[in-house]
């Protein structure tokens, strides 16, 4: 019988390399998501809480934790508590995502906090992080969703400052176990609670669909409708229409800088808006192209959120 492999028998340099690459690219979220059609609010909150836990790789052994903390800039030996170490995961992550919160349950202090968080978005970008927001914060992708009351502030951040970012068009919940996610190579091997995916990445989308089918998610009508339409002409039309609606908002926002109502600019804007409402095309009209010359570049994504069994219980273990 061959001798059992021992990880610590590998040279230190190789062990460090393995652990450094094993640390997942965690998406750090700001604000609690409020999307009742994706999942009941109580379960959605529990799934969101999962994303605030240190990655499993940090809990395996002391050596892995030391290497992980070192790669994220933590001073050696400064903290002994995993809870206190969490701030260093914020430093090592690449993506900061801003959720749309359920405003019906938010009081004035929470609204002010959310607005302050949004103003801090510029700091996020300047620090080299990738900015990601839920579509409801600027222009809802789901037709029956309402725009956030902070959408005006969001337009200021994105349009005035010309901030490029990722926009999560919608959230799709996957009620699967960590082991199932690991088997399909999704959610960072089962260690990440959320994953942003390009709606044109058919290979990854098919993996998520297979995982969703395996986890018996057919009763989830929101996810069922998504997987039924994504990649088809209906979904492509919705994206095209959404882009046009956001472009109209940008043109209307830009007119604020025409205080004296220059007739030609006003006329061109009216023509462009009419064209976009009828054709949803940002490229085929010269007036539209001129007015969208400074339109920020947005990467459109779908947010998949892992909802393991423990996120659907009364307590998070």
Residue 134 counted as domain residue: yes
C-alpha–C-alpha distance, residues 94 and 76, integer Å: 22
C-alpha–C-alpha distance, residues 167 and 156, integer Å: 16
Residue/partner pairs of 179-183 with CB below 8 Å, 24 or more apart: 180/211, 180/214, 180/215, 181/211, 181/306
Is residue 208 very low, low, confident or very high in pLDDT (cuts 50, 70, 90)? Answer: very high
Residues 224-237 pLDDT 10s: 888 989 989 999 99
Residue 267 counted as domain residue: no
What is the rounded (10 degree) CA torsion for 82, 304, 183, 206?
Answer: -160
Cβ 311 vs Cβ 47: under 8 Å: yes
Residue 204 counted as domain residue: yes
Identify the residue with better confidence: 89 or 79: 89
Residue 250 counted as domain residue: no
Q: Which of 72-81, 95-104, 208-217, 252-261 has the highest mean pLDDT?
A: 208-217
Identify the residue with better confidence: 2 or 158: 158
This prediction has a pTM of 0.75
- Among residues 169, 278, 290, the alpha carbon closest in space to that of 229 is found at 169
| Poorest-pLDDT segment among 43-52, 92-101, 174-183, 293-302 | 43-52
Query: What is the extent of the structural domain holding 18?
Result: 11-244+296-312
Residues 29-78 pLDDT 10s: 776 666 555 555 565 566 666 655 555 544 455 665 566 556 555 444 44
pLDDT of residue 76: 43
Residue 136 counted as domain residue: yes
Identify the residue with better confidence: 43 or 145: 145
Which ranges of the chain does DSSP label H, i.e. alpha helix? 12-22, 41-50, 62-71, 82-92, 108-119, 121-126, 151-155, 178-183, 187-190, 202-214, 221-229, 233-254, 263-279, 286-291
Give percent of the chain above pLDDT 70: 59
Give yes or no for residue 300 having a pLDDT over 90.
yes
Residue 98 counted as domain residue: yes
Average pLDDT, the chain: 73
Instruction: Measure CA 255 to chain center.
Output: 30
pLDDT of residue 317: 33
Per-residue b or e along 246-268, where b marks 16 or more CB atoms closer than 10 Å to that residue's CB: bbbbbbeebbeeeeeeeeebeeb
For residues 285-300, give the mean pLDDT. Answer: 85
- Among residues 203, 209, 110, 186, the alpha carbon closest in space to that of 150 is found at 110
pLDDT of residue 1: 44
C-alpha–C-alpha distance, residues 194 and 96, integer Å: 12
pLDDT of residue 168: 93
Residue 43 counted as domain residue: yes
| Poorest-pLDDT segment among 107-121, 150-164, 293-307 | 107-121
Residue 69 counted as domain residue: yes
Report how many domains make up the chain.
1
Residues 249-281 pLDDT 10s: 998 888 876 655 566 667 788 888 888 888 887
């Amino acid at each position: 019988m061959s001798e059992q492999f021992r990880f610590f028998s590998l040279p230190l340099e190789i062990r460090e390399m393995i652990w450094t690459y094993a640390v997942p690219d965690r998406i750090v979220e700001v604000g609690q998501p409020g999307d009742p059609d994706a999942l009941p609010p109580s379960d959605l909150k529990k799934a969101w809480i999962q994303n605030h836990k240190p990655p499993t790789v940090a809990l395996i052994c002391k050596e892995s934790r030391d290497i992980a903390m070192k790669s994220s800039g933590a001073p050696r030996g400064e903290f002994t508590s995993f809870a206190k170490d969490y701030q260093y995961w914020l430093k090592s992550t690449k993506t900061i995502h801003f959720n749309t919160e359920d405003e019906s349950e938010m009081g004035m202090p929470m609204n002010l906090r959310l607005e302050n968080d949004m103003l801090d978005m510029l700091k996020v970008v300047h620090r080299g992080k990738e900015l990601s927001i839920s579509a409801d914060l600027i222009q809802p992708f789901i037709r029956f969703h309402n725009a956030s009351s902070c959408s005006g502030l969001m337009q200021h951040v994105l349009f005035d400052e010309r901030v490029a970012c990722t926009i999560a068009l919608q959230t799709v919940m996957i009620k699967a176990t960590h082991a199932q996610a690991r088997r399909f190579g999704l959610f960072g091997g089962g260690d990440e609670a959320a994953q942003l995916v390009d709606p044109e990445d058919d290979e990854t989308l098919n993996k998520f669909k297979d995982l969703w089918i395996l986890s018996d998610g057919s009763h989830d009508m929101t996810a069922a409708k998504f997987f039924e339409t994504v990649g088809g002409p209906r979904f492509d039309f919705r994206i095209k229409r959404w882009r046009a609606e956001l472009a109209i908002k940008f043109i209307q926002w830009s007119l604020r800088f025409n205080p004296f109502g220059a007739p030609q600019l006003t006329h061109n804007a009216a023509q462009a808006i009419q064209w976009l409402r009828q054709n949803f095309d940002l490229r085929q009209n010269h007036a539209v192209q001129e007015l969208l010359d400074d339109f920020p570049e947005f990467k459109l994504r779908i947010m998949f959120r892992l909802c393991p069994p423990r996120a659907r219980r009364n307590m998070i273990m």
